[in-house]
Chains A and B, each alone.
Chain A
Amino acid sequence: MALSSEVYEALENIVGPDNITEEPATLDSYAYQWMAELVTNVTDGGKFFDRAEAVLMPGSAEDVQAIVKACNQHKLRFHVFSTGWGPWAASPAEGQILLDLRRMDKIIEIDEQNMFAVVEPYVVAAQLQAEAMKVGLNNHISGAGAGTSVLANACCFQGGGPDVIYFASPQDSILSIEWVTPEGDILQTGSLGSGLGWFCAEGPGPSTQGIIRGSLGGAGGWGVVTKIAIRLVHWPGPATLPIEGTVPSYQAALPEDQFKAAFPAFSDWQDFSDAIYRIYDSEIGYIAHRQFVMWGDELQAAFLNIVTDPTRQLCDLEELLEKPEIQKLTEEMQRNFQLIMVGMTPRDLEYQKKVLDQILKETGGWNISFVEKPDVQRYVLLFMLRLCFKNLNFTATGGFIDTYNSVATPDVWASGEIQAGKKLLKKYAGRIADAGDQAMGPIGGQGGGGVTGWEDFVFYDPFDPDSSKAAAEVSDEGDKLKAVQGRPPGGMLLGLARATHADQEARAQKLSKSPEYNWQRKIKETLDPNGVGSGNYFWGADTSKK
């Protein structure tokens, strides 16, 4: 179904002829998405989701407003994205248009004194961080990495990450918002709504933060957030990251008296859990994450050796795994996480290091000495502070998903769920990468700690139909395990996306465990009476036409 000439012309008049296209290969470049082969294998869609009818690139909130009004007038559904990484960025069904927000890419303001920034949708975390650091500030970076939208991570989707323990969750850091509602009104929330500037989410002025953000955000189907103010935190380091090293093993040579990467490790999960509680209580740490286990507890030591040495390649993996020192390191790292300590002063860092030593003493833990090697120390600091290597998730096989995941208090690490996840992955070993425990996630999942969690990574080969099928099966089986525990489907909504493409009944069954998604859907139905905001996996009613 192509757009009628009347509708096309109306849209073209808004954005101009250079900012709208129906060119087939271009539309396919938007339909192609990571994970598509898992979601659409129920419809044989391969790497491509449904092709949008057109892609538009608005340049301003006024453009967006005009497009949304035109969509309401013509009963045309739209789906919107910023940096566009993931299945939630593709058109979820036929007959829709896509809004690509990459022209809206400005940092409007960095308020140094009041510690916030105002950004448009296509500002990525690395850009904001680079500018914020110049004035002694820093911003949260989503676990998806430095190349993802600051605005989208805060307002429109999940967006937690390794630094949340110090920086707070992005949804808790949103200040005022400029939002084009599904009916085409421009709503300014919080203090902005009263003309008082961007500084406060809760007024004076309307506070619609819960509606706009909700549990997961609108994921492209819920009006269009065109600007946000986001809270920043202190950065005591240099104005520019001092990068050294040979591509791809870049490093940050930060002052040793203010920056320290540690790998606390433990001999059992109870000690691991206890240490996390103590970290919360003592309020140390700038970033706390179980990061490198993403490669699997059996491969992480070897992979770390590869990525920190620019002369190494993946073909060194098997040789490394045979080395006694790597085997020893693998054993040592089995239950470890990464803790980045940043001292506002050298004395502050000294204090944090002493506290960590005490915690390790009390819990029988140790700091893995491998991270003390200067090259590794500098690599890990860069990795965690900028999250510039996050696409290493794809290095091993070309594809990854998360599946059986958990968000809970630190006791969860000692609850047996890690072993359940590992067992699930081992069952499929050979069809997916055989790497062991891949439970990667935040040690502090909210500001100040209190919540932790993980995503069980699955590495699969998107080019291998059986491997892709296995990944989908792991996802489904992970959701079933979670359903038994009364928990909603997670895993980047993959299970829901798969169910949506399978049939409505399967989707409804998945959603029956998800009151928050159902509640968001009700709000959406109220505020989007014409249903022009695209259907989405957790609230939409669209099923692929295929």
Chain B
Amino acid sequence: MALEDLRATVTRCSRCSYCKWIPFAHVKSWRFAKGCPSIEYNKFQSYSASGRLCASLSLLEERSSYFDEGLVDIVFKCMLDGCCDVACKINRYDFEPVEVMRQMRFKMIDNGCYPPQDMPLIDHLKKEDNMMMAAKADRANWAEGLGVKDLTEEKAEVVFHVGCRFSFDEELWRVPRTVVDLLNKAGVDFGILGKDENCCGGRVCDMGYRGEFIKYAENNIDAWKNAGVKTVVTGCSDCYHAFKRLYPEEMEFNFEVVHITEYIERLINEGKLKFTKEVPMTITYHDPCHLGRRGEAHVPWKGEQKKVRGHVLVWEPRRPRYNGAQGVYETPRNVLKSIPGVKLVEMERNREYAWCCGAGAGVRERYPDFSEWTAGERIEEAKASGAEAIVSACPHCERNFMDAVAEKNESLKVFDILDLVREAI
């Protein structure tokens, strides 16, 4: 798929603006009706999914140029969070707005057009296999003293892929350490790749650097094969999305992928994990985009579009539909609800139409002000729900919220689900 192949899609956009809002059925207030951080922050039409589709056609028809001043900002100042995709597809059964935006990025990068602030990030990634500006040699520091099996030397069927944010963000180390504790208690034979773990490549792919992504995907798959891995467990939603959706799109992929919340729910259901302590707290759950609407598993499909009854557009054979319906929404909520004392309240925008945390697709690094504003909006929504804490299942969301809360001097607490699980055991 290339941008040129999506010409029909971008020509059929009705410019209805559904992509700017949460699904209208779910609008509960004036304040939290909007769904797209990009256009809310940047205002002009070109910063919406529809506007980017229109801009794509403008590029394809050579009405504007990849090198026009301002285009880089339009294309990349967006988290690719996919709320637009969900809202659009409520009515448009044949549409793929996020795919157009991804291909637009690939094309821009191919043309050498990218935000200048990418340079140090990509250079560092190439050198140290992470964009956290940390040394590769420090990747396994979080696991010091835990005695986790090293899969570069031993074998196991389960690999715990920690991910860059959990590996290098010391304030979040408590989370992967809890994962190790839980897996040990459950008697799971697992290991980590330690300092040789690679970036999943998901984020750099969303940023537009497809070549880098392919490289990391191949490296990871090779490493897992060598270690005899069958199941990949991760606590990071970015990694989950990469493994569940992006890898199988690009290459042969025969691994089970499990988010840690799914693993915990499994342990609870099997009676292997029991909560014994109360955690008296009113919390709200933030759905990470990459675990929710963008976390739908890839389903292989090969076919074509045809027309019936004159011009009614259908896919033949039936094409998998990625509209947010199959994201992981209930599992984390089930885990939270099973913790004694926890009272779960919902934010107005939740599940497939949740507001993004602001960190995705490199926006945190490229456009920190926009990223922080987006997180701040979510903090306001969490406060309006009456919660004392916002809980998520992704280190990127948590880091962005922690920073926004600190910046705004808010009292709202920020947790990973694993924090509450640990408290309750």
The residues of A with any CB-CB pair to B shorter than 8 Å are: 18-19, 21, 23-26, 28-34, 37, 46-48, 55, 57, 83-85, 100, 102-103, 107, 123-124, 126-131, 145-147, 240-241, 243, 246-248, 250, 252, 299, 310, 313-318, 382, 386-399, 429-435, 459-464, 467
Contact = CB atoms under 8 A, between A and B. Distances in A.
A386 B311 contact: no
B45 A459 contact: no
Interface of B: 7-8, 11-18, 21, 23-30, 33, 43-46, 50-52, 54-55, 57-59, 61, 63-65, 68-71, 74, 86, 89-94, 307-319, 321, 323-325, 352
Nearest to B352: A247
B27 A391 contact: no
27 contacts: A23-B68, A26-B55, A28-B57, A29-B44, A47-B57, A100-B45, A103-B43, A124-B33, A129-B27, A130-B29, A145-B16, A146-B24, A250-B25, A315-B319, A317-B314, A388-B23, A388-B24, A389-B25, A389-B91, A392-B91, A396-B311, A398-B12, A432-B311, A459-B312, A462-B12, A463-B7, A463-B11
Given A23-B71, A57-B43, A248-B323, A29 B310 contact: no
Given A248-B89, A315-B314, A459-B312, A83 B45 contact: no
Contacts of B15: 32-34, 84-85
A383 to B, nearest CB: 9
Contacts of B28: 130, 240-241
B312 A32 contact: no
A120 to B, nearest CB: 11
Contacts of A84: 15, 17, 45
Contact of A250 (B8, B23, B46, B315): B23
B310 A432 contact: yes
A55 B43 CA distance: 11
Given A33-B15, A246-B325, A396-B311, 16 more contacts: A26-B74, A46-B61, A47-B11, A85-B15, A124-B33, A127-B29, A147-B18, A243-B25, A248-B89, A299-B312, A313-B318, A313-B319, A317-B314, A388-B25, A398-B313, A431-B311
Contacts of A100: 43-45
A30 B15 CA distance: 9
Contacts of B50: 29
A250 B311 contact: no
Nearest to A123: B30
Contacts of B24: 126, 145-147, 386-388
Nearest to A306: B93
A464 B305 CA distance: 14
A464 B311 contact: yes
A247 B30 contact: no
A146 B16 CA distance: 11
Contact of A29 (B21, B25, B55, B312): B55
B313 A461 contact: yes
Contacts of B18: 147, 391
Given A24-B63, A25-B74, A386-B25, A83 B17 contact: yes
Nearest to A23: B70
A247 B323 contact: yes
A37 B7 CA distance: 14
A378 B8 CA distance: 34
Given A26-B46, A85-B17, A314 B314 contact: yes
Given A23-B68, A100-B44, A100-B45, A467 B26 contact: no
Contact of A391 (B8, B16, B26): B16
A42 to B, nearest CB: 18
Contact of B70 (A21, A123, A299, A388): A21
Contacts of B25: 241, 243, 250, 252, 382, 386, 388-389
Which of A315, A397, A432 has the most chain B CB within a 10 Å cutoff? A315
Contacts of A463: 7-8, 11-12
A238 to B, nearest CB: 11
Contacts of B44: 21, 26, 29, 55, 57, 100
A29 B30 contact: no
Contacts of A240: 28
Nearest to A467: B311
B91 A459 contact: no
Contact of A396 (B27, B90, B312): B312
A47 B17 CA distance: 16
